[in-house]
Amino acid sequence: MKDEGTRGFLTSVFQLSRGFFIVGGIALTFLMMLTVTDVLLRILGRPIVGIFELVAFSGAIAVGFSVPLTSWVRGHIYVDFLVLKFSPPGQKTFHLITRALAFALFFLIGWNLFKMGTDLWKSGEVSATLQMPFFPIVYAVGAGCWVQCLVLVADVVKIMRGRYE
């Protein structure tokens, strides 16, 4: 019974990370299409108004939403030559400590992004050209950080169960 709950938690975290990744991929595709369209329109002397803001917002979503799944599949740079020199219990301890530190980092980043988003919302701050509010993007990236926290908790579960490779 306990294993089913763990499996359900891991599946839920994976699906949530995957959903964020898909949204990030859509944002990246939008960013690329927007950039190509702007380049072509600039040749005709008709650039897209607010392109820099749209690219920045899309880039923030693309990066912020891709981190959790990238971490889940360990698609980031991972240098393990030092860790492999540790004994298996040492490796387990190392992984647990690094996950705890990363959890603290991403939790604090997410927390501060939500605080910043609230400040931007209350102040009514918007982008210069398109007058788009900043706070939804800041909240979204903060949410991506907290999903990353869930991925790190899932890593701890896998490490403790001996299923972390």
CA nearest neighbour of 18 among 89, 68, 82: 68
Q: Is 18 exposed, middle or buried (0-12, 13-18, 19+ CB in 10 A)?
A: middle
Residue 153 token pair: 């908790």
- Answer whether 0.85 is exceeded by the pTM: yes
> For residue 92, how many other CB atoms are within 10 A of its CB?
15
Q: pLDDT tens, position by position, for the chain (165 residues)?
A: 468 889 999 999 999 999 999 999 999 999 999 999 999 999 999 999 999 999 999 999 999 999 999 999 988 777 778 888 899 999 999 999 999 999 999 999 999 999 999 999 999 999 999 999 999 999 999 999 999 999 999 999 999 998 876
